Amino acid sequence: MPAATSRKITLLILALLAGAALRLWFIHMFPQVEGDSLLYGDMARNLLQHGIYGRTLSDGIHPTLIRLPGYPLFLAACFRLFGMEHYHAVLYVQATVDLVSCLLIAAFVRRISGERQAWIALYLAVLCPFTANYTSNAMTETLSIFAVALALYGMALLLQKPGVHERLALGLLAFAFSFAALLRPDGALLAIAFCPAIILHGSRHGSPHGGFRRSFHQALVCGLLAILPFVPWTLRNWHTFHVFQPLAPRYATDPGEPTTPGLQRWMKTWCVDFSSTYEIYWNVDSDRLEVQDLPLRAFDSAEQFANTQAIFDEYNRGLSLTPELDTRFKALADARVRSYPLRYYVALPFARVLNMWLRPRVEVLPIELRWWQYWLHYQESYVVFAYGALGLGYLIAAFAGLIRRPPFAGAMVAYILLRSLLLATIEAPETRYTLECFPMIIALAAIAFSNRTRGQATCAPSVYPTRA
């Protein structure tokens, strides 16, 4: 075996071993199977044992549409193979899937930038703690990251060697688009960002690459194939609930269940970071609400403070958000929006998105929620600061890679921007909502180490190119 090949195999094995060790450490030290994980598991168990895609409530098993079927079906497959509710086996499968995602990111970078950058991408991916730590959570994040990584590789395969691997690439893209949306409704953004990229690439490069007509056909085939799994899901929801619901409801409620629009609107008038999501939003209907947990921006006057305190006191007597209390939250929110509309529609959405991108990603670690109170737990704060610096380093490197204008930079930026715009509309921010962008962040960060000058491409020009 040539020395160069032996060296590459050694580097690959070392990368995979390091990545596996990191993920197994997270699974051993910080496994998390609670909340939504148990909800997904309940749906999977009911599907296997009773043939019902539903939730177990106090009066029996009821069909549901509050979650898309992608992750419950994944859990059902794991339960069938490894034993009912054997969640540790699920986490090991997720660790394996995440390592495959790392390989796909490296393969994508190799096609658009070169072998040296591919090795950098591989090590940046396998050693990234922000994606690795979610393999220890029975949640959708790991599989969603895989779908994005697969789509990136499929794009490079399709657009850089037209006709050579067309069927394989179209199949990979269609599967990635569909799987991402079956896991979470926002997964549909992957197709929304990438299908136009396929079309624009064909229109810019003419007949040698098949031209606009061929590229439009490719994008159409990908889109139609990706939609197919949602046909039975939509028909099932229409037959069972008599509603047209091709994805999942915005607030994860079944038809007829009460919603809390007043609370949602009030949260949007002040909530910016995960600590508020944890201490206030997640406590509704389960624990007390304490006014001292609110930041100062939640009040514009002493009258608003007194009004908020009165609502909290009334809620705490029964630990239930009644329709009357929700109406009072709405009135409070309406007054705040009228007073400062720009804050509500511009400043706070921007602050929430910025927080989701820059906040140290320690929410799955046993770290104090208010880690910035350094004087109370300084040792934990050092870990948080290190995580924050590492996250910022990934983002800075990604920006450095972006300004080199690599192939498909426009498509990657389009997805990141679309996702960020969507995240600006939510009332309860969590840093995990930006994880689906990390295959692109890692790829761009690796490209920052390229020796090529700005604007040079190895195999294909950029989709949605930026102009100097």
Of 370 and 150, more confident: 150
> Within a 10 A sphere around the Cβ of 375, how many other Cβ atoms?
6
Residue 162's closest CA among 103, 106, 208, 194?
A: 208
CA gap 67, 248 in Å, rounded: 6
pLDDT tens, position by position, 236-274 = 999 999 999 999 998 889 998 989 999 999 999 999 999
96 pLDDT band, cuts 50/70/90, is: very high
> Within a 10 A sphere around the Cβ of 416, how many other Cβ atoms?
21
When pLDDT is averaged across residues 83-100 and rounded to a whole number, the result is 97
202 pLDDT band, cuts 50/70/90, is: low
This prediction has a pTM of: 0.92
210 pLDDT band, cuts 50/70/90, is: low
pLDDT tens, position by position, 278-309 = 999 999 999 999 999 999 999 999 999 999 99
Residue 393's closest CA among 132, 26, 128?
A: 128
466 pLDDT band, cuts 50/70/90, is: very low
Which pLDDT score is estimated for 456? 47
Of 203 and 366, more confident: 366
pLDDT tens, position by position, 321-347 = 999 999 999 999 999 999 999 999 999
Which pLDDT score is estimated for 462? 40
Q: What percent of the chain has pLDDT over 70?
A: 92
pLDDT higher than 60, residue 412: yes
**Mean pLDDT of the chain, nearest integer:** 91
When pLDDT is averaged across residues 162-181 and rounded to a whole number, the result is 89
Q: With b meaning 16 or more CB within 10 Å and e meaning fewer, what string describes 427-460?
A: bbbbbbbbbbbbbbbbbbbbbbbbeeeeeebeeb
pLDDT higher than 70, residue 226: yes
When pLDDT is averaged across residues 64-77 and rounded to a whole number, the result is 96
pLDDT higher than 90, residue 224: yes
pLDDT higher than 70, residue 454: no
Of 401 and 213, more confident: 401
Structure-block tokens of residue 51: 């043939």
